[in-house]
Chains A and B, each alone.
Chain A
Amino acid sequence: AQTVTQSQPEMSVQEAETVTLSCTYDTSENNYYLFWYKQPPSRQMILVIRQEAYKQQNATENRFSVNFQKAAKSFSLKISDSQLGDTAMYFCAFMKPFRAMFSGGYNKLIFGAGTRLAVHP
């Protein structure tokens, strides 16, 4: 069974600095998808960034980038120039490729325990 581990329950960073959140996962699949989701306080969870395992290039979205190490099964999130609005819970998630799922076409995600990030002024 796939598992996702986030070893940092809480982290803090000063505004404008860079912070890296770690995530490791365990799977026997060769192709899969990885995600980072952000859950701000009392607000809905939103997708931050997505990585397809067959792509060697690390995904980036503005100030957010990932370091995807497939052999090590590691998927860390780097937030550059941290802003107060980055304060949130961050969840790493794993999804098997669609073709590995049985009929229905649903995308079942497995989530890590989350990392609570506080950005201080």
Chain B
Amino acid sequence: DVKVTQSSRYLVKRTGEKVFLECVQDMDHENMFWYRQDPGLGLRLIYFSYDVKMKEKGDIPEGYSVSREKKERFSLILESASTNQTSMYLCASSPGLAGASNTGELFFGEGSRLTVL
């Protein structure tokens, strides 16, 4: 089974702090994604990566950056956390386009609930 692991389930940070959210997948997937989940808004894409060291902005990249130094690991960085970044963050992965197993399905981690005070 595909396993996507997010390092922290719950975090509490203060305004202005730098925050790292880590995500690791064990299925050799090319694609990795960071979504933000808020009530009434569903899931919104922050950033995604389709290869090591490659990244693309999603729909709401402002205030965030990402890092993908290794294929299995995709990190989301909040350089200076603000209260409006209090949210649930979901990491996901999927095979690349060339993968015969790519049905379009995303495989999600359990989520990281971040509270910024």
If over half of A's interface residues share one DSSP class (helix, strand or loop), that class is named, otherwise mixed; here it is: loop
The contact size tier of chain A is 20 to 34
Separation of A42 and B110 alpha carbons in the complex (Å): 7
Contact A46 B50 (CB under 8 A): no
The answer to whether A107 touches B108 (Cβ under 8 A) is no
Specify which chain B residues have a CB less than 8 angstroms from the CB of A104 in the assembled complex. Answer: 31, 50-51, 54, 56, 96-97
Interface string of B25-53 (1 = CB under 8 A from A): 00000110001000011111100101100
User: Taking CB as reference atom, which chain B residue is nearest A5?
Assistant: B42
**Contact, CB under 8 Å: B48 / A108:** yes
A33 within 8 A of B: yes
How many positions in chain B have a CB within 8 Å of any CB in the partner chain?
30
Given A43-B110, A50-B104, does the pair A106, B50 have CB atoms closer than 8 Å? yes
Which residues on A sit within 8 Å (CB–CB) of B4?
44
Residues of chain B within 8 A of A91, CB atoms compared: 42-43
17 contacts between A and B (CB under 8 A): A9-B40, A43-B110, A44-B4, A44-B109, A47-B106, A50-B104, A98-B97, A98-B102, A98-B104, A104-B54, A104-B96, A105-B96, A105-B102, A106-B97, A108-B58, A111-B43, A113-B40
B contact residues vs A (CB 8 Å cutoff): 4, 30-31, 35, 40-45, 48, 50-51, 54, 56, 58, 90, 94, 96-98, 102-106, 108-111
